[in-house]
Chains A and B, each alone.
Chain A
Amino acid sequence: DQQVKQNSPSLSVQEGRISILNCDYTNSMFDYFLWYKKYPAEGPTFLISISSIKDKNEDGRFTVFLNKSAKHLSLHIVPSQPGDSAVYFCAASRGTSYDKVIFGPGTSLSVIP
């Protein structure tokens, strides 16, 4: 049973528009959430994170929203650029050890010029 779900395997967005990637989790003990971006033939790279004490975190074009009651978080990319085309992994953590970090299956984003 997946504890972290990304129900959209893929998403296509026009350049300049907003990309919204969604993530749902089942374990209410998760207290830290991260988004990683992965290009083909490269390892994932950290993008943005949010602690469970916040409901929003911004970093440039990237904003992550957390809705704890719904156990849902989303990543907004505004405006979307072709270079944002990648697979985005949502990850949730119950602490600071590797074994407590659970990754979602990923969403492949394509930004169309």
Chain B
Amino acid sequence: KAGVTQTPRYLIKTRGQQVTLSCSPISGHRSVSWYQQTPGQGLQFLFEYFSETQRNKGNFPGRFSGRQFSNSRSEMNVSTLELGDSALYLCASSLDTWNTEAFFGQGTRLTVV
């Protein structure tokens, strides 16, 4: 079956702009979580959506938001971009909550200039 699909793969934006990233989970998976990866910081949890509801949220400012649609596809939005938002954004999907079968997408590489 198809894996987790993230679009776009690469994105360049300027400071102050906003950006929307998309994640399509594996068919049948209802949980989608988002992570930010920066050099030396590992994967930092942004938020998790389950059945269209934000279930958990990490320690990121309100400029980071997301939503999930009825087909489990999820979008992440970052407003008023800052240079420090440049990172690889990964989404992971799983059937329910976190377990060993969380599958990651390839990520979206966001560069803010």
Contacts and interface: CB of A to CB of B under 8 A. Distances in A.
Interface of A: 2, 4, 6, 9, 34, 36, 41-46, 49, 89, 91, 93, 95-106
A89 B92 CA distance: 15
Given A44-B90, A89-B42, A99 B104 contact: no
Interface of B: 4, 6, 31, 33, 35, 40-45, 48, 55-58, 90, 92, 97-107
A34 B104 contact: no
B39 to A, nearest CB: 8
A93 B33 CA distance: 15
A93 B98 CA distance: 9
A91 B100 CA distance: 11
Contact of B106 (A4, A43, A106): A43
A98 B41 contact: no
A85 to B, nearest CB: 18
B56 A98 contact: yes
B106 to A, nearest CB: 5
A4 B56 contact: no
B107 A98 contact: no
